[in-house]
Amino acid sequence: MRYFLKYTPYIFRKSRVIQLTFFVTRRCNSKCSFCFYLSQEPEVHEKELSLEEIERFSESMGELLWLLFSGGEVFLRDDIVEIAKVFYRNNRPAILTLPTNALLPELIYERTREIVKSCPESVVVLKLSLDGIGGEHDAIRGVRGNFEKVMETYSLVKELLRYPNFELGVNTVFCSANQDSIMEVLRFVEREMPEIRTHTVSLVRGNPRDTGMKQVDLEKYRETISFLERKLDSRHGSYSFAGSRLKTAQDILQRRLIYETARQNRRLIPCYAGRLNLVVTENGDVYPCEILSEKLGNLRESGYSIPRILESERAKRVIGDIASGKCHCTHECYFVTNILFNPAMYPKLLGEYIKLFRKKKSNGSRE
């Protein structure tokens, strides 16, 4: 309720950024074939924003509904706990998401535990990447033994579920390499990883290293999202935090919209990137989203001020182009805000919410 009241005004006025994706590093210990962000440049480390620089730009922003750390492998930043604390102090994110390739189990456990303890009023979501079973996962990720590491990480971090603000999930990238076996991955997680509350599937996006990864059969994607909807009967398909049924209803709408956007190859609903969402890269470049290549500015050249960047003529032009519908994509993160902050979506959202409520009730009466 607290967050509902706090963020309701932004449904009507898209007047400030409430969702930030921060690419904390470009370094990674994995070599995924669908990656669009990996860099082999040795000097990439030196260009990363320091903790002091991060503090300065975070101070220029207001409170955040959702902070998503991205990369690279986020846990490769030795100061990731300190970075989380900076945002917690300055922006109080309601949700803080940490995706990981799970290659460093002990380190991920230790750093996640510190973040969970240091950010008690944020829901800290750890997302383990899993794209196949056994050797298939290793082949897609380009790292032998990666699958075992995911399972080892899972065994360690599930202990953190004793903290009420910790949420554990899995994400699978739907790509040409696993489109025929993805159901096995979904069933495996349900069977062998019972502490996983949510299993999300991201449709491959951007310009991957291996462009063949984007040769997907959309009907197989549709079958996958139908399976995920049916899974809502189980504990696996639903979040545990307050307002989780609304989030689940939004997930259902989101997957259908993504399928239709890809099928029709056009934008179906307005996009609020640049107004409600922003992306900051490890070297301080600022973009409206992860997909568009035209940057709005750079923090180092703009006194570490997000408002100053957004007031520039360049930012106004790019954001104007987005509002006029010049681009489209299937990136899941933007559909979250594009659905939840769009009143035109509410009748459908309410419909899904009521269906979930009824389903839960009828399951309860059967038990």
Which residues contact ligand SF4 (rule: CB under 6 A)? 28, 30-32, 35, 37-38, 71-73, 101, 267, 271, 273, 288-289, 291-292, 322, 327-329, 331, 334
User: Given the complex with ligand SF4, which of 93 and 288 has the nearer CB atom?
Assistant: 288
User: Given the complex with ligand SF4, which of 195 and 210 has the nearer CB atom?
Assistant: 210
**Cα 125 to chain centroid, rounded:** 10
Owner of token pair 């607290």: 2
Q: How many CA atoms lie within 13 A of 245 on its CB side?
A: 13
Task: List phi, psi (to 5°) of 113.
Answer: -60, -40
Residues 80 and 109: beta-carbon distance below 8 Å: no
User: Given the complex with ligand SF4, which of 75 and 88 has the nearer CB atom?
Assistant: 75
Residue 129 CA to residue 137 CA, distance in Å, equals: 9
Among the listed residues 86, 144, 145, 158, the one whose alpha carbon sits nearest the alpha carbon of residue 119: 86
Residue 171 CA to residue 197 CA, distance in Å, equals: 11
CB of 358 to ligand SF4, least distance (A): 33
CB of 107 to ligand SF4, least distance (A): 15
CB of 73 to ligand SF4, least distance (A): 6
* Residues in CB range of 206: below 8 A, 6 or more apart: 36, 37, 290, 291
User: Given the complex with ligand SF4, which of 168 and 356 has the nearer CB atom?
Assistant: 168
CB of 212 to ligand SF4, least distance (A): 16
CB of 51 to ligand SF4, least distance (A): 21
User: Given the complex with ligand SF4, which of 174 and 304 has the nearer CB atom?
Assistant: 174
Residues 281 and 72: beta-carbon distance below 8 Å: no
Owner of token pair 């681009």: 327
* Residues in CB range of 64: below 8 A, 6 or more apart: 17, 18, 19, 20, 87, 91, 92, 93, 94
CB of 58 to ligand SF4, least distance (A): 22
CB of 322 to ligand SF4, least distance (A): 4
Residue 290 CA to residue 205 CA, distance in Å, equals: 10
Identify the three-state secondary structure at position 240.
coil
User: Given the complex with ligand SF4, which of 88 and 272 has the nearer CB atom?
Assistant: 272
User: Given the complex with ligand SF4, which of 255 and 331 has the nearer CB atom?
Assistant: 331
Structure tokens at 90: 């300055």
